[in-house]
């Protein structure tokens, strides 16, 4: 009936369980009413704008392991759900082994917001524009999810169902994202296009990762993930397959970028037209793949 011209947070209960079991139990008891709560950089905005109206925010930041950032030389990186992006950026292990993830985190909003924003939150928010999701996808990230009956692991690639929609069920809490060891000799880049240099949501985001792979005809595997151009963070597999089978040349990179652009289905909105976004996927994919290829050569 009327514009919410005084956007403020509606009333809600803040709940801080002591254990994961307690948290899952609470979330299960109030399906649709209770939500897990991390940094709040998305959830508060959406609550303020009346898009969601949870009665309970269940803070999971103090629960077992959610604050851990752990790198194991044999297994890879486990990033607890509550680890904020500035911690990721500052981590020596991340810088050494997953610089692409640090680069993606650095592109998010501002320093101040990154002290609240988390990678797992970015994932669970399931916005197609999420800047850090691409890096987690190309490193074959696996989510650790606590559910009422215990723990399960779920590949990130199968997690997204639509904008804001994931495979999470009531009672599920993502406690961490695990990134396996990076492929040997890999190089990556994240190119983000916003309307300004700082702080805008991505109009288009392109994550590219490449590494030598003697088992493939081209000798290299390239991974791509696209932000803001489909209902979910998109992996254009046609482009990846193409580069697995063709010799890597400027021409095949251009063709792969074309395949990436063809794979996406962007929307028209105030930030940019679908036509512009599609063209930007083509241009930025070519640029990203070329930059990665330069590092690999």
Partner 1 sequence: MTKKFIGKRVKRNEDPRLLTGQALFVDDVEIPGMLHAAFLRSDYAHARLLSIDVSAARQRPGVVAVFTAEDMGEDWQPGPPLVSPPPTAKDVIFHSRRQVPLVKDKVRHAGEAIAVVIAESRYIAEDAVEDILVELEPLEAVSDLEKSLQEGSTLVHDDLESNLAAHLIQKKGDYEAAREKADLVITRRIVTDRGAAAAMENRGIVAHWDEKSQHLTVWDTTQAPIPIRNGLAARLGLSANQVRVIAPFVGGGFGPKMMMFYPEEMLIPWASMKLSRPIKWIEDRRENFYATTQERGQNHDVELALSRDGHILGLKDVFLHDTGAYDPYGLTIPLNTQCHLMGPYDIENFTSEVSVVFTNKTLVTPVRGAGRPQGIFIIERLLDIAAKELGIDQVEIRKRNLIPPEAFPYEHKIIDQAFAPLVLDSGNYWPVMKKALDMIGYDQFVKEEQPRLRAEGKYVGIGITPFIESTGVGPYEGARVTVEASGKVFVATGVGTQGQGHFTTFAQIVAEQLGVAVSDVRIVTGDTTEFHWGTGTFASRGAVVAGNAIHASASIVRQKVLKLACKILETPEEELELECGLVRVADTPHKSISLGELALLANPLRGAVEPGTEPGLEATAYFGPQYGATAFGTHAMIIEIDPETMMIAIKRYITVEDCGTVLNPLILEGQIHGGVSMGIGNAYYEKLHFDENGQLLNASFADYLIPSATEMPRIEVGHVETTSPLNELGTKGVGEAGTIPVPALFSQAIENALYNRELEILETPLSPNRLFELLVNEEKSR
Contacting positions for partner 1 (CB under 8 A)? 1-8, 193, 195-201, 203, 270-273, 275-276, 279-280, 283-284, 287
Residue nearer to partner 1 on the CB measure, 4 or 153: 4
Do the bridges between strand 150-155 and strand 187-193 make them parallel or antiparallel, or are there none, so unpaired? Answer: unpaired
Residue nearer to partner 1 on the CB measure, 20 or 204: 204
Nearest approach in angstroms of CB 287 to partner 1 is: 7
Nearest approach in angstroms of CB 108 to partner 1 is: 14
d(CA 80, CA 49): 28
Question: Nearest 5 degrees, angle CA 288-CA 294-CA 297?
Answer: 135
CB 229 within 8 A of CB 207: no
Residue nearer to partner 1 on the CB measure, 76 or 205: 205
Name the 3-class secondary structure at 14.
strand
Do the bridges between strand 142-147 and strand 173-179 make them parallel or antiparallel, or are there none, so unpaired? Answer: antiparallel
Nearest approach in angstroms of CB 283 to partner 1 is: 4
Nearest approach in angstroms of CB 277 to partner 1 is: 9
Nearest approach in angstroms of CB 276 to partner 1 is: 5
- 44-70 burial: b if 16+ Cβ within 10 Å, else e: eeebeeeeeebebbbbbbebeebeebe
Tokens of 109: 């909003």
Residue nearer to partner 1 on the CB measure, 153 or 199: 199
Name the 3-class secondary structure at 215.
coil
Nearest approach in angstroms of CB 49 to partner 1 is: 9
Residue nearer to partner 1 on the CB measure, 149 or 196: 196
HSE (side-chain half, CA atoms, 13 Å) at 229:
30
d(CA 213, CA 273): 37
Residue nearer to partner 1 on the CB measure, 87 or 271: 271
């Amino acid at each position: 009936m009327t514009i919410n011209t005084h956007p403020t947070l509606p009333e809600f209960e803040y709940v801080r369980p002591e254990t994961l079991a307690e948290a899952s139990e609470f979330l299960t008891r109030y399906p649709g009413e209770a939500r897990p709560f991390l940094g709040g950089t998305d959830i508060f905005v959406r609550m303020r704008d009346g898009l969601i109206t949870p009665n309970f925010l269940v803070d999971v930041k103090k629960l077992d392991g959610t604050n851990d950032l752990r790198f194991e030389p044999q297994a890879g990186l486990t990033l607890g759900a509550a680890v904020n992006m500035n911690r990721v950026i500052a981590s020596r292990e991340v810088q050494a082994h997953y610089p692409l993830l640090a680069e993606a985190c650095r592109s998010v909003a501002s320093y101040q917001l990154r002290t609240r924003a988390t990678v797992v939150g970015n994932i669970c928010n399931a916005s197609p524009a999420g800047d850090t999701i691409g890096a987690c996808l190309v490193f074959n990230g696996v989510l650790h999810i606590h559910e009422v009956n215990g723990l399960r692991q779920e590949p990130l690639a199968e997690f997204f169902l639509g904008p804001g929609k994931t495979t999470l069920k009531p009672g599920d809490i993502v406690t961490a994202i695990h990134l396996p060891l990076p492929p040997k000799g890999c190089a990556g880049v994240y190119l983000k296009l916003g309307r300004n240099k700082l702080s805008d949501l991505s109009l288009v985001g392109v994550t590219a990762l490449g590494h030598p792979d003697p088992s493939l005809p081209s000798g290299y595997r390239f991974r791509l993930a696209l932000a803001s151009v489909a209902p979910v963070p998109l992996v254009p597999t046609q482009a990846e397959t193409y580069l697995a089978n063709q010799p890597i040349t400027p021409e095949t990179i251009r063709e792969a970028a074309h395949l990436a652009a063809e794979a996406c289905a962007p929307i028209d909105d105030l930030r940019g037209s679908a036509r512009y976004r599609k063209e930007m996927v083509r241009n930025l994919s070519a640029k990203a793949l070329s930059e990665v290829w330069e590092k690999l050569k």
